[in-house]
Structure 1
Amino acid sequence: MLAVAAVSQNADDPLSGLDVGEQPAPDVPDGWTTVSIRAATLNHHDLFSLRGVGLPADRLPMILGCDAAGVSADGDEVIVHAVIGDPAAGGGDETLDPRRTLLSELYPGTLAEAVAVPRRNLVPKPPALSFEEAACLPTAWLTAYRMVVHRSALPAAGGGTLLVQGAGGGVSTAAIILGKAAGHTVLVTSRDAAKRERALKIGADEAFEPGARLPVRVDAVIETVGAATWGHSLRSLRPGGRIVCSGTTTGANPPAELNRLFFLQLSVVGSTMGTRDELAELAAFIDRTGVRPLVNDVRPLADARASFAKLVRGDVFGKLVLTV
């Protein structure tokens, strides 16, 4: 079958190990099933794999991709949940299973004509969502949904204030749209003036340069940038506010500023992906509110290299979609 795979790894030139060609059809263990892919999307996780981060070389070649929507072996339109784990091992949350893995880490991923997954990893696709839109949800959008709705401690009825650091990435773009749909005031930062303008167009209330003094102290911060924005995130919180962190793209060891942390009684919580049930919640939320994932580019699977090149350049605002 046609698939996009990592066949070698290079930290400086990740695309040198990218292969778009024939790969074996996936094995289907007991309790698993197959999905015929209709659309899949790219994530920075795919570039990490090509750079040798998180994917041991002895697992190559590995079909890349975490996100997909398609048609199950039973003929149902479904969204694929990318976390392979046991909820019981995580106290009811498969993301807390110490042995959890994502598609494309231990098992072949979604950038292919078909993927094999546990049956419980299938979520019904709302009919109102296209396959391209549905394929955006399982990684970046699910990560943002858990951060905004379940980890931020913002009021469920809306009315909170949210700062999203680094507008433009998949998680931050989703957080802007979801935060507004949930009824919160959303502020964003970006060093790119064009991305600040786009953030305003998709619903952000105000956009600022990194480090700028904000007009209000916020209730929560969505933090995926790390060292470059960490101090600003702490300074932007009201007393008792909360940082929700799911990434560190500019470095994982910022100054802790513990005096500010304890004196203002701030909270810092981590967040990784989301559960299968949260993915179902997200799909229902998208269906109910009418908001839609922001798609940057759609190409056929055979043109995957061009999409990966865009991802490497950072020339992206929204999701890169590959169709089968």
Structure 2
Amino acid sequence: MKSAYITGHGGNEVVKVGESPMPIRKPGEVLVQLRAATLNRIDLYMRDSGAGITHSLPQILGLDGSGIVLEVDDSETVLSPQQRVVIHPGIACGRCEYCQRGESVLCASIQYIGEHRDGTFADYICLPAANVFPMPETLDFAQAAALGVNHLTAWRMLFTKAQFKPWETVLIFGIGGGVSLAALQLVKLAGGRAIVTSRDPGKLQRALKMGADAAVHSEVEDVAKAVMAATDGRGVDVVIENVGQAVWTNALRSLARGGRIVTCGATSGDQPYADLRRIFIRQLQIFGSTLGSLNEYRDLLGFVARNSLRPVIDSHYSLQDIHVALDRLASGSQFGKVAIAISE
């Protein structure tokens, strides 16, 4: 089968498009013919170094994807051949204390496709049936693929970690990125108020057209002061951020008393100034979050179907153009997901 894989670590010179062995389906697994995938920051990380992630080379990239069921056990009751499906990228053990209580994303032995095992930038993939879900009928393959990482991450951050309520205000840093845009869509569909930040005024204008209630140009404005002005001096209830050190002080200063920060990334550094006095005096809460559980993915897919949510796709590329797609993501200029067409 055709795939995009890394043969080492460095730049685009280690990313190849060529033939890989066809996966062999085991009992309990589903063979999916992939139609689309989208890029995530981890694809760049795996290309650049993959440090700290146990993997072997060559390694097929790609965490999320959508496609068609080709083969499944005869005893399977939810999935059937030719059904359109989306996948959850985290393959957990199913037996540890975390899996048993429905928190598969906390499984100590979880393996992620595209990181620990071959991913979705390929014609075919085999996954446990539990990781394969019927695809929302309102979406095309690229839009559906986009749900599996960014929207699932934003869902857990908002509804599981922050316990976001419809009457609350959420500050979202770095609008234009996949998780940030997903959070904006979810907040507005749930009835909340959203304030977004970006260094790019064009992205801010697009976010306002999507329903953001206020926008802060972080290149020229003091974010915390602007947030206070937009909330009549109160601050926001929830901060969603995946930038880390560069925005941390403003994130803390923007919170109302009793507010919550949820973080899922540290692209600008992971050792911010803590400001512990502010945290305990204002009784702030800080949550770490990554991806989401199988149950949360099921809930997200139901929400998407009921509310006709459509993920924002920035651009489409063929698998053959994977280098151009990676460059697009690395540039930081995208607004939404960079999608890869796997097969027709």
| TM class by smaller structure | over 0.9
Give the match for residue 234 of structure 1: 252
Match of 1:81 in 2: 88
Task: Tell me which residue corresponds to 1:121.
Answer: 131
Name 1:261's counterpart in structure 2. Answer: 279
Could you tell me which residue of structure 1 aligns to residue 295 of structure 2? 277
How big is the shift at 1:269? 0.6
Secondary structure (helix, strand or coil) at the match of 1:268 reads strand
- Structure 2: how far apart are the matches of 1:6 and 1:160? 43
The one-letter code matched in structure 2 to 1:81 is H
Q: State the 1:299 CA deviation.
A: 2.1
Query: CA contact under 8 A between 1:123 and 1:276: conserved in structure 2?
Result: no
- The percentage of aligned residue pairs carrying the same residue is 37
Residue 38 (structure 2) pairs with residue 41 (structure 1): yes
Residue 192 of structure 1, aligned match among 175, 200, 205: 200
The answer to whether the 8 A contact 2:53-2:116 is kept is no
Rounded to whole Å, the distance in 2 between the matches of 1:164 and 1:265 is: 20
2:340 alignment partner in structure 1: 322
Per-residue CA shift, 1:57-90, capped at 9, x if unaligned? 8601100000101111222211011011134421
1:92: Cα distance to partner? Answer: 2.0
1:25 to 2:35 alignment: no
1:93 pairs with one of 71, 78, 103: 103
Residue 102 of structure 1 corresponds to 112
1:138 is the counterpart of 2:135: no
Q: 1:169 to 1:58 in 2, by over 3 A?
A: closer
Preserved CA contact (<8 Å) 1:69 1:134:
yes
Question: Using the alignment, how far apart are the partners of 1:319 and 1:205 within structure 2?
Answer: 22
Q: Which amino acid aligns with 1:186?
A: A
Corresponding residue of 1:297:
315
2: CA distance, partners of 1:310 / 1:34: 30
Provide the TM-score with structure 1 as the length reference. 0.95
Q: Alignment partner of 1:200: what SS?
A: helix
Partner of 2:306: 288
Q: Which runs of 5+ in 2 are unaligned?
A: 72-80
Equivalent position SS for 1:204? coil
Q: Is 1:9–2:27 an aligned residue pair?
A: no
Query: Which secondary structure state, in structure 2, belongs to the residue aligned with residue 67 of structure 1?
Result: coil
User: Which of 201, 215, 219 is the matching residue for 2:209?
Assistant: 201
Cα distance in 2, alignment partners of residues 58 and 81 from structure 1: 19
- Change in Cα spacing, 1:107 to 1:29, as seen in structure 2 (3 Å) is farther
5 Å-filtered alignment, 1:243-262, equals 243-262=261-280
Which range moved further: 217-226 or 277-286?
Answer: 277-286
* Cα offset, 1:154, TM superposition: 1.6
Give CA-to-partner distance per residue, 1:273-312, whole Å, 9 cap, x none. 0112211211111111122100011122222222112112
Q: Distance in 1 between matches of 2:320 and 2:161?
A: 38
- Distance apart, 1:31 and its partner CA: 2.4
What are the Cα deviations for residues 248-276 of structure 1, in whole angstroms up to 9, with x where unaligned?
11001100000000000000011110112
Q: Provide the C-alpha distance between the structure 1 equivalents of 2:6 and 2:186, rounded to a whole number of angstroms.
A: 32
SS of 2:277 mapped into structure 1:
helix
- Can you list the C-alpha shifts for 1:8-47, whole angstroms capped at 9, x where unaligned? 101xxx2121111111112334422210001111111100
Q: Secondary structure at the match of 2:121?
A: coil
Q: 2:182 aligns with which of 174, 188, 194?
A: 174
The normalised TM-score by structure 2 is 0.89
